Chains A and B, each alone.
Chain A
Amino acid sequence: MERRPWILLAPALVTIVMLVVVPMSFILVYSFYENIDLAVDRVAFQFSNWQALFLDNYYRIAIWKTLRLSVIVTVLAAVLGYIPAYFIAMTKFRQRWLLLLLLILPFWISFIIRTLSWIHILGNQGALNGLLQWLGVIDAPLQMMFTEATVIVGFLHVFLPYMILNVYVSLEGIDRNLEPAARTLGATPWQAFLEVTLPLSLPGLAAGCLLVFVLTGGSYVTPLILGGPSDYLFGNLIHDAVVSELNWPMGATLSFTLLVLLGAVVVAYSRLMGLNQLSKAFR
């Protein structure tokens, strides 16, 4: 066997083992410990945490809510992200870097601040209600905050750039002459897009979807800030278990479950599409 690839891979492998595999193993071990009191654990090998996970409906509902919301956010991000990505990739505007810069500019502001900003827009005292009242459209402020819709808006706001960048990169890689070629052969602009550009950009779209899905599925801050009492995700249960209840073994159990769930999505995706040869799936 050749040694060179392994030498080159070594730093990455060591890092992943030290920072991911080892800690995750600790977490798995921790999930078998027993929680006696707030923050008091007993070293053990027992299954009460796992039993709770499988028997308690509460957790199953959280998984369902998480998958549902992740799908909604992913689909919306795909539709809303594709359009600006297409525009940036196809524009004749010379300063394209400026558009890309605008896209990553929000990353310079804390994610929490960006999320909180929606309260000032959609809240009862927020900009939108203020505007509507000033225009006389409504008399009393509309209750818009702390619903599933605001959580979705918050997610889209934060994750859309990931989708746009992924789609943009794959659109950028498409030969500029393909659409005109389709057009001269008789396709309308829309047909040319559907037949040529869309299928060739699917790898980027799929990668963007995977990223947004996994990022949404693993979140807890956005529903915490923008959601109501029933808008929690699986990540919020982990947060509650670890931070509020100080039940670390249960937190470990839930963490590991989330890892397996999202990992399964990634594996299924790579099985279905092939992580490297995505485009072949659509030939």
Chain B
Amino acid sequence: MAGVELKNVVKSFGAVTAVKDVDVTFDEGSFTTLLGPSGCGKTTILRMVAGLEAPTGGDILVAGKRVNDVPIHKRNLGLVFQNYALFPHRTIGQNIAFGLKYRGVSKSDAATKVKRALDIVRLPGVEDRYPTQLSGGQQQRIALARAIVIEPDVLLLDEPLSALDANLREEMRVELKAIQHRIGVTSIFVTHDQSEALAMSDKIIVMSDGKVQQVGAPEEVYNNPANEFVASFLGASNILDVTVAGSDQDSIALSTAHFGTIPVPRSRATNLGDGSSGRLVVRAEKLQLVVPGSKVTGVGAKGTVEAVDYQGQIARYFVKVGDLQLQAMNMIEGRPFGAGTEVTVQINPQDCSVLPAEVK
């Protein structure tokens, strides 16, 4: 087992630079997620770690050793492809044993290892079937078994859950994390699904356009987004323009156009001087809609519900406050607010985070 380090890694495909100066570490034994929208370079990073793609610049280190020039088959990494990439002409047993052949494992040892790997992924007894005779979720587990049976130094997972349906995906998410935890292998997981990233990761690396936007624990990235991209990519966020009106020991007073002055705790608004302007981020689920006239915690403003997106226990509201369009995700107590309802929109200063205004 080993940690992985990328040092100023750059990858260009002709005129396209897919990965721009990425400098990150993946701690030994940790589960780290590369999160970002389609085309931001996640797969490219994974393929470079695996050796399937050579970096244009920078170094890749596994267990402290530079591996740029180590050929793929000598890297001892387990890679799980998005589409599983099982060998269709081989049985499940042969698929899983594939990597063992090249590691000088005897036939009988291989059979034992295959059996154990199948137990780990909870699919015992399917050795003699062919991949097409398994369901998508089962194939996914076989792909995982094939990758872990070789006891890789690092496990690389490229959106392994994306081809599964919603229920199975959530189930596999828990299971995958449990397996990783049990064998303790350093894992790099790629996804563009933020809930997957938040649920599974020890650390999330948010990427956009080939660049790292933020690195941090899930709650850190979620609650304290480093910039507007991260704020809006991880769940729905409302972003308001603010200027610093004053400050005291504990809080900074931010004046807004629609919510008056909001006293935000200092810990949530760093690097903002008096008079400077910034951007206030409030998550949709932290924006609370209440019946007009009820007691307000924090600050409130009058608004009108424009549309409701009913999602079972929660509802997503599109609310208009003056000329501001906001989103709120609220638990439904009793009946949801209908479109056209007058409401009070409340913001709790504890739930805000503040970013410096972005230089455009």
Q: Are B78 and A178 in contact (CB under 8 A)?
A: no
Q: Are A183 and B73 in contact (CB under 8 A)?
A: yes
Q: Which of A184, A187, A191 contacts B50 (CB 8 A)?
A: A184
Kindly identify, within residues 161 to 206 of chain A, every residue whose CB is under 8 Å from any CB belonging to chain B: 175, 177-178, 180-188, 191, 195-196, 199-200
Kindly identify, within residues 70 to 111 of chain B, every residue whose CB is under 8 Å from any CB belonging to chain A: 71-73, 75-79, 81, 83, 85, 87-91, 98-99, 101-103
Question: Would A178 and B103 be within 8 Å (CB), given that A184-B50, A184-B78, A188-B73 are in contact?
Answer: no
Q: Are B90 and A180 in contact (CB under 8 A)?
A: no
Nearest B residue (CB) for A180: B52
Nearest B residue (CB) for A177: B85
Kindly identify, within residues 22 to 49 of chain A, every residue whose CB is under 8 Å from any CB belonging to chain B: none
Q: Which of A175, A185, A199 contacts B102 (CB 8 A)?
A: A185
Contacts of A282 in B (CB 8 A): 89
In angstroms, Cα B31 to Cα A11, docked, is 62
Q: Which of A180, A184, A191, A196 contacts B87 (CB 8 A)?
A: A196
Q: Are B85 and A185 in contact (CB under 8 A)?
A: no
Question: Would A181 and B81 be within 8 Å (CB), given that A186-B103, A283-B90 are in contact?
Answer: yes
In angstroms, Cα B144 to Cα A181, docked, is 12
A279 at the interface (CB under 8 A from B): yes
Q: Are B99 and A186 in contact (CB under 8 A)?
A: yes
Q: Are B89 and A181 in contact (CB under 8 A)?
A: no
Contacts of B83 in A (CB 8 A): 175, 177
Q: Are B89 and A183 in contact (CB under 8 A)?
A: no
Contacts of B75 in A (CB 8 A): 184
Flag B214-236 by CB within 8 Å of A: 1 or 0 each.
Answer: 00000000000000000000000
Nearest B residue (CB) for A202: B89
B150 at the interface (CB under 8 A from A): yes
Nearest B residue (CB) for A282: B89
In angstroms, Cα B89 to Cα A272, docked, is 18
Q: Which of B76, B79, B89 contacts A199 (CB 8 A)?
A: B89
Flag A241-283 by CB within 8 Å of B: 1 or 0 each.
Answer: 0000000000000000000000000000000000000010011
Q: Which of A178, A195, A199, A279 contacts B85 (CB 8 A)?
A: A178
In angstroms, Cα B87 to Cα A199, docked, is 10
Count of A interface residues, CB-CB < 8 Å: 20
| Least distance between B83 CB and chain A CB atoms (Å) | 6
Q: Which of B72, B76, B89 contacts A180 (CB 8 A)?
A: B72
Contacts of B192 in A (CB 8 A): none
Q: Are B102 and A183 in contact (CB under 8 A)?
A: no
Question: Would A200 and B88 be within 8 Å (CB), given that A184-B72, A185-B146, A185-B150 are in contact?
Answer: yes
Q: Which of B81, B89, B150 contacts A200 (CB 8 A)?
A: B89
Q: Are B103 and A184 in contact (CB under 8 A)?
A: no
Nearest B residue (CB) for A196: B87
Q: Are A186 and B150 in contact (CB under 8 A)?
A: yes
Which of A183, A188, A200 has most B Cβ within 10 Å? A183
In angstroms, Cα B71 to Cα A282, docked, is 29
Contacts of A182 in B (CB 8 A): 87, 98
In angstroms, Cα B98 to Cα A200, docked, is 16
Nearest B residue (CB) for A182: B98
In angstroms, Cα B89 to Cα A199, docked, is 8
Nearest A residue (CB) for B143: A181
Q: Are A181 and B79 in contact (CB under 8 A)?
A: yes
Nearest B residue (CB) for A283: B89
In angstroms, Cα B102 to Cα A200, docked, is 20
Question: Would A187 and B102 be within 8 Å (CB), given that A180-B72, A181-B79, A283-B90 are in contact?
Answer: yes
Which of B52, B79, B87 has most A Cβ within 10 Å? B87
Contacts of B88 in A (CB 8 A): 175, 200, 279
Contacts of B98 in A (CB 8 A): 182, 185, 187, 195
Other A-B pairs beyond A185-B102, A187-B102, 19, CB < 8 Å: A177-B81, A178-B85, A180-B50, A180-B81, A180-B85, A181-B87, A182-B98, A183-B52, A184-B72, A184-B73, A184-B77, A184-B79, A185-B146, A185-B150, A186-B102, A199-B89, A279-B89, A282-B89, A283-B130
The 4 closest A-B pairs by CB, nearest first: A186-B102, A185-B99, A177-B85, A181-B85
Instruction: Report A's interface with B, CB cutoff 8 A.
Output: 175, 177-178, 180-188, 191, 195-196, 199-200, 279, 282-283
Instruction: Report B's interface with A, CB cutoff 8 A.
Output: 50-52, 71-73, 75-79, 81, 83, 85, 87-91, 98-99, 101-103, 130, 146, 150
Q: Can you show 21 pairs from A to B with CB atoms below 8 A apart?
A: A175-B88, A177-B85, A180-B72, A180-B79, A180-B81, A181-B79, A181-B85, A182-B87, A183-B51, A183-B73, A184-B75, A184-B77, A185-B73, A185-B150, A186-B76, A186-B103, A191-B102, A200-B88, A279-B88, A279-B89, A283-B91
